[in-house]
């Protein structure tokens, strides 16, 4: 784990020797969701990724993002290297039209031993991999929590005995998420990672989505449609490859220094074709 490089990417190099604390966890979490985008563009580039957290961290250091297995996997290694007591759990995101369940389509992190005024018990839900989800870590205590334009609810899970349920704000992109309390390893997500990366039924395969959370809202690029929810709300369509890659850099802090001109042309062509097919289906 290149801890120094990772912290530099987050703009938090001064935390390299800092003791673990609730304030430190918050700073790391906030910087991560604001600077490291939720995205699965490697799928659209035809470049498979692994579940290895160190590999995910190296990709983040180079200016890319990932989805939950990459983001939470890498973050767990980063904060463990800084002395935090972090545990991985199997979770399940409930999308609109589906039933709640611990399906393994989500990796969840909890961090303990960090008491604070608002969380004397010292256990936290840390989740960088929910796209338009939490901005700051949440106390692992039942209740409602307001962050920016969103209100979240934590409560005991009804599908994972002893586990927890996260209810998203009604304006969010998913309904909620349940997770088990049992610790797990990255290998538990291998089959689902393969499905999400390759199956025609996978949302990551069907639609290229990029998201970035900040204190006042979320930016989402779904296909070629860039939307802001929260402060400065808007929605625009990016009509050119130049505008698309500029948005990736300027809005989502994503860099693609390893792509050739041909790679960018192929990616844009796939995105443009998918957008036209979506427009045709919407019109029909």
d(CA 68, CA 33) in angstroms, rounded, equals 12
User: Do the Cβ atoms of 136 and 111 come closer than 8 Å?
Assistant: no
Residue 231 has pLDDT above 90, yes or no: no
d(CA 93, CA 133) in angstroms, rounded, equals 11
d(CA 110, CA 181) in angstroms, rounded, equals 9
Which range (36-40, 156-160, 181-185, 255-259) has the least confidence? 255-259
Q: What is the CATH number of domain 203-279?
A: 3.30.2140.10
Where are the chain's structural domains? 203-279
3-state secondary structure 85-145: EEEEEEEEEECCCCCCCCCCCEEEEEEECCCECCECCCCEEECCCCCCCCCCCEECCCEEE
Measured distance between the N- and C-terminal CA atoms of the chain, rounded to whole angstroms: 50
Average pLDDT, the chain: 95
pLDDT at position 252, please? Answer: 97
pLDDT at position 218, please? Answer: 96
Q: Phi and psi of 265, rounded to 5°?
A: -65, -40
Query: Residue-wise over 251-283: b if at least 16 C-beta within 10 A, else e?
Result: bbbbebeeeeeeeeeebbeebbebbeebeeeee
d(CA 137, CA 174) in angstroms, rounded, equals 18
Residue 13: DSSP 8-state: G
d(CA 264, CA 94) in angstroms, rounded, equals 33
In this prediction, residues 79-107 reach a mean pLDDT of 95
d(CA 112, CA 184) in angstroms, rounded, equals 16
Q: How confident is the model at residue 106 (pLDDT cuts 50, 70, 90)?
A: very high
User: Do the Cβ atoms of 72 and 66 come closer than 8 Å?
Assistant: no
pLDDT at position 240, please? Answer: 94
User: Do the Cβ atoms of 216 and 36 come closer than 8 Å?
Assistant: no
Q: What is the pLDDT of residues 124-173, one digit of tens each?
A: 999 999 999 999 999 999 999 999 999 999 999 999 999 999 999 998 99
DSSP string covering 165-207, please? EEEPPTTSSSSEEEEEEEE--GGGGHHHHHHHHH-TT-HHHH-
The pTM for the full model equals 0.94
Residue 256 has pLDDT above 80, yes or no: yes
Residue 283 has pLDDT above 70, yes or no: no
Q: What is the pLDDT of residues 17-48, one digit of tens each?
A: 999 999 999 999 999 999 999 999 999 999 98
The encoded tokens of residue 248 equal 């990736």
pLDDT at position 104, please? Answer: 96
Q: How confident is the model at residue 187 (pLDDT cuts 50, 70, 90)?
A: very high
Which of 170, 162, 173 has the alpha carbon at shortest distance from 129?
173
Which of 248, 221, 251, 249 has the alpha carbon at shortest distance from 236?
221
């Amino acid at each position: 784990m290149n801890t120094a490089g990772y912290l530099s990417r987050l703009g938090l190099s001064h935390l390299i020797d800092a003791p673990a604390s609730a304030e430190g966890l918050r700073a790391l979490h906030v910087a991560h969701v604001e600077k490291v985008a939720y995205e699965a563009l490697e799928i659209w580039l035809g470049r498979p990724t692994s579940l290895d957290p160190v590999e995910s961290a190296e990709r983040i250091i180079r200016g890319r993002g990932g989805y939950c297995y990459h983001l939470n996997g890498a973050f767990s290694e980063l904060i463990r290297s800084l002395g935090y007591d972090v545990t991985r759990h199997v979770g399940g995101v409930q999308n609109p039209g589906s039933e709640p369940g611990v399906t393994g389509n989500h990796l969840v992190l909890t961090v303990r031993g960090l008491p604070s005024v608002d969380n004397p018990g010292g256990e936290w839900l840390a989740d960088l991999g929910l796209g338009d989800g939490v901005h700051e870590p949440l106390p692992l205590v039942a209740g409602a929590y307001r962050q920016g334009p969103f209100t979240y609810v934590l409560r005991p899970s009804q599908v994972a005995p002893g586990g927890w349920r996260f209810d998203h704000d009604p304006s969010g992109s998913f309904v909620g998420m349940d997770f088990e309390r049992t610790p797990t390893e990255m290998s538990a997500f291998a089959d689902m990672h393969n499905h999400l990366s390759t199956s025609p039924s996978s949302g990551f395969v069907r639609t290229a989505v990029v998201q970035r959370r900040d204190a006042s809202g979320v930016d989402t690029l779904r296909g070629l449609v860039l939307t802001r929810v929260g402060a400065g709300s808007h929605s625009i369509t990016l009509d050119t490859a130049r505008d698309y890659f500029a948005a990736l850099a300027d809005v989502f802090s994503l860099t693609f220094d390893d792509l050739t001109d041909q790679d960018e042309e192929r990616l844009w062509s796939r995105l443009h074709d998918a957008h036209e097919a979506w427009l045709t289906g919407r019109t029909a």
